[in-house]
């Protein structure tokens, strides 16, 4: 009798824990490419329907319970406010308003259910916006426009909605070379005579600077953001290798080192970062296997939340490159892991540094990897079918 | 011959004075070594997708320039030194005559002649150097021809037209050139469904064709029958070829699962089984083949790893010399699937091996049976695998960058 009572107590306790677990389980927002009826050949034409929410199993990392929480047009960049109350999405289109621009949409997040309520949509300041982040001050949303070749700043209103752009920076200058001298053999330049292509914009860890990648003219911009006026003030411009297409970057935890991946040469370049200026450290290293020949283009670069590894995606080769970071910040390539699908558009790592997710655009799935002690991802055998996944953020 | 001196131990050199003299010696020796190597290195043709000026976004528009010849290292299996031997439009499938004196290629286009058809091109092979001399070109009987084979009589070419949804028979002349079409079979009837009930999660099916899609046509090992896969209406045709008239006479039609998209098939070496790779549901179906009729044996099996979710379409299917293994290609999951074949002809999936790049269009096993090649159409490379003791391919680390490779055929046996 005593043991039965104990069993019941355990069962009740387990049920309570279960309920508690359910309430605290991690979730992920997944942005997808949606049909582009005007330009079916657009990169951003996909079969998704907008922003989805999925549940994450804390033990296995597996994703389940996929449900659409916002019907939206090609939300390929997502950023969550620090208090998790608001979500911002780029609409990677070239059909917004009379200027055939892209747009940015603000959402209020239901803390309990994760549901999204649309607040407003504004012109992104250029066509094909592909990246969004929130400035360190928490007061501005920053957007990189790929096709429009611009960077735009949007004030966040107290209710979380967005004001019209307070600044749009559109670099000029001559067009650049179509490919880099150190690109793999078998890489076919897709865009000869490129103009600017804004591919990423984000604050540095100190919050003093804003960095932007121009994958068209091969420049890395450093600005300060005037938080009174919402204007970007240029501090420096660093020339990457011509034709390398700097696409994504990440900072070391101390903010002293910046890691830059080149889309067209698929190489990782390390820069020292001080006083808003970049100084290359050592030689760039290939994110591909030795002797690789064929098409390859890097997409996402991420520094792991624990600061020990850099991950980058190889489209074409369909792998994740893992780099180990030495105390001096210099990376060495550890491994290449197949993504278990085709065309990794993006990567996500949970804040606990336990799981890595590969968003495989053309195979319409997300593959789940467990991060091993040395940082190298190991496939768990778990996929989740998602149409044209482009971006994912894990909400702990 | 002092092969050991060269060419692996060369130091960096400058083109000056004594070094130049040495270099001349080296070059002479190198030539000798190359020709010696050529005696035991195998050569292969690789057909590629070429640019389609009328529609650069078309799936068949590629970065290749035609048919290439490559040298294949017999020790490592690695192909190298690709050179264009025939500039021809999208030769996406090629076949050699039994005596290797002639090569026939489809031109996977929809721009030939007033009917916007595809075409077939005949070449004479210079076996000493591998050069190709174009003989003539003929209408393929429908647009986007994607497969070509030769009847065992050696008198007829058999062509499958994908978009045109047709199968064509072309009579060959004694000089290897193309005479004339003797038959064009164009199946009619109601269209099939877009997607198969047993497809993987996230197969959208909206790229599925509306009518017949000829994807393969091949004689059976007995030489009595001709089999054609229709990936559009999900049918497998069996014909007899009248070698006097060049006409196909239908023997049987077998229906696949609606929406399955039967694409490439192989026969067991004794001709008693036909293994059918299904493009749209990523399944392999085994049929007993007797008296020109197919009878399904057991349930279809998946070409994909357990638990796979996502999009995938299969492409190639091959059988090895021993007959104990089948190899299939998965596109977007991007793997070579190995199947084990049991004594009773039944198959089980053994492994999936990463192709190391996008979109394997086809696979080829070398004549020694030691190596298997993945022709990665969108990855723009040919990747070499060594076939392991258990039949499972192992990546050799060798990539050959090439524009839009589609098919590879060994010239040297």
Q: Which residues of B touch A185 (CB under 8 A)?
A: 401
pLDDT of residue A37: 82
pLDDT of residue A174: 75
Q: Which residues of B touch A299 (CB under 8 A)?
A: none
If 0-12 CB within 10 Å is exposed, 13-18 middle and 19+ buried, where does residue B406 land?
buried
| Phi/psi of residue B262, nearest 5 degrees | -60, 125
Q: Which residues of A touch B329 (CB under 8 A)?
A: none
**Cβ contact, residue pair B380, A188, below 8 Å:** yes
pLDDT of residue A40: 81
For the segment A321-325, the average pLDDT, to the nearest whole number, is 98
Q: Taking the model in full, what pTM does it have?
A: 0.90
pLDDT of residue B55: 72
For the segment A329-358, the average pLDDT, to the nearest whole number, is 97
- pLDDT, tens only, A56-70: 999 999 999 999 999
- Partnered with residue B149 across adjacent β-strands are B158
Q: Which residues of B touch A293 (CB under 8 A)?
A: 381, 399-401
Q: Which residues of A touch B202 (CB under 8 A)?
A: 363-365, 385-387
What was the ipTM of the complex prediction? 0.89
pLDDT of residue B5: 28
pLDDT for A94 beyond 70: yes
Chain A residues bordering chain B (beta-carbon distance below 8 Å): 41, 47, 184-188, 289-295, 316-318, 338, 340-343, 360, 362-365, 381-387
User: What one-character DSSP code corresponds to residue B402?
Assistant: -
pLDDT for A12 beyond 60: no
Confidence bin at A186 (pLDDT 50/70/90): confident
User: What one-character DSSP code corresponds to residue B245?
Assistant: T
pLDDT of residue A366: 98
The alpha-carbon gap from B316 to the nearest alpha carbon of chain A, in Å, equals: 18
**Cβ contact, residue pair A316, B354, below 8 Å:** no
| Residue in the structure block whose two tokens are 């426009």 | A145
pLDDT for A111 beyond 50: yes
**Cβ contact, residue pair B310, A364, below 8 Å:** yes
Q: Which residues of A touch B63 (CB under 8 A)?
A: 188
> Closest Cα partner for A304 from A334, A274, A264, A271?
A334
pLDDT of residue B58: 65
**Cβ contact, residue pair A295, B356, below 8 Å:** no
Contacts of B76 (CB under 8 A, 6+ apart): B384, B396, B398
10-residue mean pLDDT series, chain B (413 residues): 27 31 38 43 95 72 94 95 97 98 97 95 97 98 97 97 96 98 92 79 65 95 97 95 98 94 97 97 97 97 96 96 97 97 97 97 97 97 97 97 97 90
The alpha-carbon gap from A222 to the nearest alpha carbon of chain B, in Å, equals: 35
Can you tell me the distance from the alpha carbon of B118 to that of B106, in angstroms, rounded to the nearest whole number? 8
For the segment A306-331, the average pLDDT, to the nearest whole number, is 97
pLDDT of residue B399: 97
**Cβ contact, residue pair A295, B400, below 8 Å:** no
Can you tell me the distance from the alpha carbon of A390 to that of A197, in angstroms, rounded to the nearest whole number? 18
**Cβ contact, residue pair B381, A289, below 8 Å:** no
pLDDT of residue B291: 97
> Shortest CB distance from B401 goes to which of A184, A362, A363?
A184
**Cβ contact, residue pair B356, A317, below 8 Å:** yes
Contacts of A184 (CB under 8 A, 6+ apart): A265, A266, A288, A292, A293, A294, A295, A296, B401
Residue-range domain boundaries for chain A: 28-71+350-396
Encoding tokens for residue B8? 């692996």
Contacts of A310 (CB under 8 A, 6+ apart): A250, A259, A268, A301, A302, A303, A304, A322, A323, A325, A331
Strands (E), B231-370: 235-242, 247-255, 262-267, 273-278, 283-290, 293-296, 301-302, 313-319, 325-331, 335-341, 347-354, 360-365
For the segment A50-55, the average pLDDT, to the nearest whole number, is 98
Contact B123, B104 (CB under 8 A): yes
- Mean pLDDT, chain A, rounded, equals 92
Class of domain B3-7+14-410: mainly beta
Q: Which residues of B touch A360 (CB under 8 A)?
A: 310
Look at A37-41, A207-211, A212-216, B92-96 and tell me which has the smallest mean pLDDT: A37-41
Encoding tokens for residue A64? 């389940």
Closest B-chain CA to A341? B333
Contact A12, A20 (CB under 8 A): no
**Cβ contact, residue pair A291, B397, below 8 Å:** yes
The alpha-carbon gap from B76 to the nearest alpha carbon of chain A, in Å, equals: 14
Chain B residues bordering chain A (beta-carbon distance below 8 Å): 57, 63, 200-202, 204, 305-312, 331-334, 354, 356-359, 376, 378-381, 383, 397-403
Can you tell me the distance from the alpha carbon of B133 to that of A120, in angstroms, rounded to the nearest whole number? 66
Q: How many CB pairs under 8 A join A and B?
A: 104
**Cβ contact, residue pair A384, B356, below 8 Å:** no
**Cβ contact, residue pair B63, A41, below 8 Å:** no
């Amino acid at each position: 009798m005593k043991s039965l009572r104990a069993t019941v107590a355990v069962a009740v306790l387990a049920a309570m824990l279960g309920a508690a677990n359910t309430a605290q389980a991690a979730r992920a927002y997944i942005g997808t490419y949606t049909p582009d009826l005007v330009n079916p050949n657009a990169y951003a034409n996909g079969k998704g329907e907008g922003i989805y929410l999925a549940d994450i199993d804390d033990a296995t990392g597996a994703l389940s319970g996929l449900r659409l929480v916002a019907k939206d047009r090609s939300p390929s960049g997502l950023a969550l406010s620090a208090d998790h109350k608001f979500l911002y999405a780029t609409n990677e289109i070239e059909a917004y308003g009379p200027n055939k621009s892209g747009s940015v949409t603000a959402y209020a997040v239901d803390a309990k259910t994760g549901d999204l309520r649309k607040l407003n949509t504004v012109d992104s300041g250029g066509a094909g916006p592909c990246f969004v982040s929130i400035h360190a001050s928490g007061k501005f949303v920053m957007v990189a426009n790929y096709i429009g070749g611009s960077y735009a700043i949007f004030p966040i209103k107290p209710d979380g909605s967005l004001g019209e752009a307070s600044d749009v920076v559109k670099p000029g200058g001559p067009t650049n070379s179509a490919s880099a001298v150190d690109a793999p053999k078998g890489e076919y330049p897709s865009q000869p005579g490129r103009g600017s292509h804004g591919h990423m914009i984000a604050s540095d860890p100190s919050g003093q600077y804003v960095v932007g990648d121009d994958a068209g003219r091969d420049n890395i911009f450093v600005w300060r953001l005037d938080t009174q006026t919402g204007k970007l003030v240029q501090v420096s411009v660093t020339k990457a290798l011509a034709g390398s297409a700097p696409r994504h970057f990440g900072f070391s935890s101390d903010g002293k080192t910046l890691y830059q991946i080149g889309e067209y040469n698929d190489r990782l370049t390390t820069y020292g970062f001080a006083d808003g200026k970049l100084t290359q450290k050592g030689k760039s290293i290939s994110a591909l296997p030795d002797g690789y020949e064929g098409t390859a283009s890097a997409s996402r670069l991420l520094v792991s939340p624990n600061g020990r590894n850099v991950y980058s995606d190889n489209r074409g080769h369909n792998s994740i490159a893992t780099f180990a970071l030495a105390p001096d910040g210099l990376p060495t390539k550890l491994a290449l892991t197949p993504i278990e699908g085709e065309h990794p558009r993006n990567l996500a790592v949970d804040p606990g540094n336990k799981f890595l997710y590969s968003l495989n655009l053309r195979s319409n799935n997300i593959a789940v990897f467990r991060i091993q002690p040395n940082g190298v991802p190991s496939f768990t055998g778990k996929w989740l079918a998602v149409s044209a996944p482009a971006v994912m953020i894990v909400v702990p | 011959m002092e092969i050991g001196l060269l060419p692996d131990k060369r130091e960096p050199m400058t083109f000056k004075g004594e070094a130049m003299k040495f270099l001349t010696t080296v070059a002479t020796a190198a030539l000798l070594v190359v020709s010696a190597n050529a005696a035991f290195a195998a050569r292969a043709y690789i057909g590629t997708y070429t640019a389609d000026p009328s529609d650069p976004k078309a799936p068949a528009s590629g970065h290749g320039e035609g048919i290439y010849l490559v040298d294949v290292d017999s020790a490592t299996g690695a192909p190298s030194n690709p050179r264009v031997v025939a500039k021809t439009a999208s030769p996406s499938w090629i076949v050699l005559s039994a005596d290797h004196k002639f090569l026939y290629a489809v031109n996977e286009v929809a721009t030939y002649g007033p009917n916007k058809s595809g075409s077939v091109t005949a070449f004479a092979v210079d076996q000493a150097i591998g050069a190709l001399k174009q003989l003539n070109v003929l209408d393929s009987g429908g647009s986007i021809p994607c497969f070509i084979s030769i009847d065992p009589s050696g008198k007829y070419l058999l062509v499958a037209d994908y978009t045109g949804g047709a199968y064509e028979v072309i009579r060959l002349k004694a000089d290897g050139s193309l005479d004339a079409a003797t038959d064009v079979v164009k199946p009619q009837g109601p269209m099939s469904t877009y997607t198969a009930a047993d497809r993987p999660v996230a197969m959208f099916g909206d790229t599925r064709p509306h009518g017949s899609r000829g994807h393969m046509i091949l004689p059976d090992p007995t030489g009595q029958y001709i089999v054609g896969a229709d990936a559009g209406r999900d049918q497998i045709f069996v014909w007899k070829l009248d070698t006097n008239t060049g006409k196909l006479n239908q023997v049987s039609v077998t229906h696949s699962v609606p929406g399955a998209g039967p694409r490439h098939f192989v026969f067991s070496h004794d001709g008693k089984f036909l293994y059918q790779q299904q493009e749209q549901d990523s399944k392999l179906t085994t049929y007993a083949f007797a008296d020109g009729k197919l009878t399904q044996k057991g349930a279809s099996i998946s070409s994909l790893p357990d638990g796979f979710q996502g999009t995938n379409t299969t492409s190639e299917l091959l059988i090895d010399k021993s007959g104990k293994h089948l190899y299939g290609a998965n596109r977007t999951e991007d793997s070579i699937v190995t199947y084990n074949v049991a004594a009773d002809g039944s198959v089980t999936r053994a492994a999936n091996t990463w192709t190391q790049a996008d979109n394997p269009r086809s696979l080829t096993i070398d004549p020694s049976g030691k190596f298997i090649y993945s022709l990665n159409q969108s990855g723009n490379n040919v990747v070499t695998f060594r076939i392991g003791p258990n039949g499972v391919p192992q990546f050799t680390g060798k990539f050959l960058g090439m524009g839009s490779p589609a098919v590879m055929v060994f010239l040297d046996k």
